Structure 1
Amino acid sequence: MTHYLLRNENAVYYECGFSCDNEIFFKSGDEAWFITDPRYTEEAKTSVRNAEVVEAQDLTKALRALLRKKRIRKLWYDPGEWSVADFKKISEKLTIHLAPKADFSKQKRIIKREDEIKLLKSAVTEGARAFERFADFLRQKGEGLSEARLFFEASLLLQDEGAYSLSFEPIVALNENASKPHALPTEKSLKRGDLILVDAGIKEKRYCSDRTRTAEFTAEINFSKAQRFSDPKRQKIYDLVRKAQETAIGAIRPGITAKEIDHAAREVIERGGYGQYFVHSTGHGVGLDIHELPVISKRSETVIEENMVFTIEPGIYLPGEFGVRIEDMVRVTADGAEVL
């Protein structure tokens, strides 16, 4: 792919080490241009690497001038990055063949470099510490607070007084609300014996972490994976989900397909009698974006390779009762997987 356009901030950052909310990145052979408006020019010029910064009030007009100058015949773009209106402005009266290729930047980023793995490990470590801070908060001040307030407090603790940004808005769900995989916070209050599901992550220099834990709220609550529930049904479901996660992680190795990993987790839950309540894929890639490639799903034919990084997050969701999910990020090694 010799000539291509990018507009997604993380895709652009991967190419040149800088991005902003109004940019176009154009790559042509050994040359590249970062086109932005005057609000970002000064910072771009000190931060962008391996590309020329072009200042323009009309980014599309500046891009079209470059395209005419380069006289290229074929230009790749990701259709998911462009609105219909912007694409029309770029392509109108141009003789260049604009070739769509979805997610080509994410495909380029699917194998992580060592420096990226180091940042991802750091994000995971700091994210785990934030879970510990949240557990401590719950022990001291959590009882009686609403999900909405717990969501707010978790967000603050994750960011650690501004040291980190969030990978995504955290999920804090109690009891029956946890049966919704991406539950929104309610005004229901936390009480002793409640099941609490927390899904959250932070960024280390833009690289994301993603972690989910499910626990019972007691005076000694923690977010380790060794959990004990007073309700036998909750314990049974939790143990089944944990076994599914461990089985899937144990199946990971270079050369197998993503759907084989998904099958390893799904088979445990199906044999336990709860297959219909595992309603999402087993995992997803993580990097600059919280959802990258590979997708670990029952239909994914992606062949797993060393230094891919993705989540393993099986779950069981019983509508009107509760839900359990356990999630960790893993790196594929030469002969298996490392839990980050």
Structure 2
Amino acid sequence: MNEKTPISELNARMKTFRQIMDQQHPGWGMAVVFSKINLLYFTGSMPEGMLVIERGKDATLWARKGYERTLGESEFPVIEPMNSYRDAAQAYSQLPGEVHLETEFVPLAMYQRFQKHFRCSSYQSIDFQIAQARSVKSQWELHFIEQAGTYHRKVLEDIVPEILREGMAETDLAAELYEVMVKEGHQGIARFAMHDTDVAVAQLSFGENSLYPTNFDGPGGNRGLNAAVTSFGNRDRKLKKGDLVFIDMGFGINGYHSDKTMTYMFGERLPKEVIAIHQQCADIHDRVAEMLKPGAIPENIYETIMNNLTPEFKRNFMGFGTRQVKFLGHGVGLTVDEYPVLAKGFKAPLVENMVFAVEPKKGIEGVGMVGTENTFVVTPQGGRSITGSNRGLIFVG
């Protein structure tokens, strides 16, 4: 399939966004997109610049850096160069008093530079409206997400067991895993919507390191290299028999991701009570997947599962100690973490071809983080896994 985003795809995305804006902000006049991920979504390219969307008029992509590249890779119909916001502002005879922009992305200094020439007196957010537009995937998008899922499954279920060896450091596994991922087709980077978040390869840990506190908004943990790099493996932690190995990673192709976690028992099988807890997490994973049907309410899915768990199981479920997250899964697409979320407060019904990562996990003191995660497409029959069906705790002898 052609990796260049077709014009039909771009037109459909813009139409959907405009419809959402007309419904939720009937008086809107201008929306401006700055973030490179959303520029990629709406235009098929990632220049340094902005996309100006006027109500009732053609949108214009203004490229400050990367203009020539954008001309070659984007089917977007109106692309113009600019040296500064002043250049772009001169093209608009009338500017609205209020502008809609990405408040989750645009820092104050950028807004002030923009406002100097686009003399708006106020702003509103379009983060939610863009998230809604992006949440339902087209067949073109699903092609790349499913391709990522196929390679993702192969790497974690088939190749990683061959890499694991006694005495290797977490950093050794991270380096070798990254090489394998890229050779299998990974784009080399996994992107997150969470502000100021980076993950070099994976959230990757041996034993209790998967319970170690981290600033990442997920159930797993890792020790990392040091205070400056918390998302990589640890050089000092070596793999030994009896270890639980925990790998949570995103896999990307042409901008689109799948998300998957796999666990392994190295050298020796874990105690029966640990395996039983893991299997309970896997059962929860399967029950959530069955509920991923059009019309289902994310909040109801979350509460249905949580209300049927015992107080003992809830302890250290979806985290460890006080570091428990309040969701069971999340959307996946151009970022690993997208709208909507399987959590309280998400009341809009699911729509066919939304994509979710489902990740029930539980921390066990002295052992690590058990559980599993796969990526699912919402269908009338329930969630369809695109990253495999292995329940985890693969034994590596």
Q: Which amino acid aligns with 1:100?
A: S
Indicate if the aligned counterparts of 2:186 and 2:251 stay in contact, CA closer than 8 A.
Answer: no
How much is the aligned-residue C-alpha RMSD, in angstroms? 2.2
Q: Give the SS at the match of 1:334.
A: coil
Indicate if the aligned counterparts of 1:6 and 1:81 stay in contact, CA closer than 8 A.
Answer: no
Deviates more, 1:234-243 or 1:294-303: 294-303
Q: Give the SS at the match of 2:147.
A: helix
Q: By how many angstroms is 1:32 displaced?
A: 1.9
Provide the residue aligned with 2:103 in structure 1: 79
Q: Cα gap change, 1:324/1:5 in structure 2, threshold over 3 Å: closer, same or farther? A: same
Deviations 1:27-81 (A, max 9, x none): 12341222222x41211112222342222222x2233333x42444543112112
Q: What is the alpha-carbon distance in structure 2 between the residues aligned to residue 69 and residue 47 of structure 1?
A: 30
Q: By how many angstroms is 1:95 displaced?
A: 4.5
Question: Residue 273 of structure 2 is aligned with which of 211, 220, 233?
Answer: 233
Q: By how many angstroms is 1:324 displaced?
A: 1.0
1:273 lines up with 2:299 in the alignment? no
Q: Which amino acid aligns with 2:59?
A: A
Q: What is the alpha-carbon distance in structure 1 between the residues aligned to residue 94 and residue 142 of structure 2?
A: 36
For normalisation by structure 2, the TM-score amounts to 0.75
Q: Which amino acid aligns with 2:83?
A: Q
Give the aligned length: 323
Q: Cα gap change, 1:237/1:5 in structure 2, threshold over 3 Å: closer, same or farther? A: same
Instruction: Map 1:139-218; keep pairs closer than 5 Å.
Output: 142-160=165-183, 164-167=187-190, 168=199, 169-180=201-212, 181-183=220-222, 184=224, 185-186=233-234, 187-218=236-267
Deviations 1:206-229 (A, max 9, x none): 10111001120139xxxxxxxxx3
Q: What is the alpha-carbon distance in structure 2 between the residues aligned to residue 157 and residue 56 of structure 1?
A: 40
| Unaligned 5+ runs, structure 2 | 1-20, 22-28, 191-198, 213-219, 225-232, 318-323, 387-397
Question: Residue 50 of structure 1 is aligned with which of 61, 76, 90?
Answer: 76
Deviations 1:71-118 (A, max 9, x none): 445431121121101111222471565322333222111111111111
| Unaligned 5+ runs, structure 1 | 220-228
Q: Which amino acid aligns with 1:311?
A: A
1:325 lines up with 2:356 in the alignment? no
Sequence identity of aligned pairs in percent?
A: 20
Indicate if the aligned counterparts of 1:253 and 1:334 stay in contact, CA closer than 8 A.
Answer: yes
Indicate if the aligned counterparts of 2:32 and 2:51 stay in contact, CA closer than 8 A.
Answer: yes
Instruction: Map 1:269-308; keep pairs closer than 5 Å.
Output: 270-271=309-310, 273-278=312-317, 279-280=324-325, 281-308=327-354
Q: Which amino acid aligns with 1:5?
A: V
Q: What is the alpha-carbon distance in structure 2 between the residues aligned to residue 16 and residue 166 of structure 1?
A: 20
Q: Which amino acid aligns with 1:200?
A: M
Deviates more, 1:25-34 or 1:151-160: 25-34
Q: What is the alpha-carbon distance in structure 2 between the residues aligned to residue 203 and residue 101 of structure 1?
A: 25
Deviates more, 1:106-115 or 1:297-306: 297-306
Provide the residue aligned with 2:12 in structure 1: none
Indicate if the aligned counterparts of 1:159 and 1:202 stay in contact, CA closer than 8 A.
Answer: no
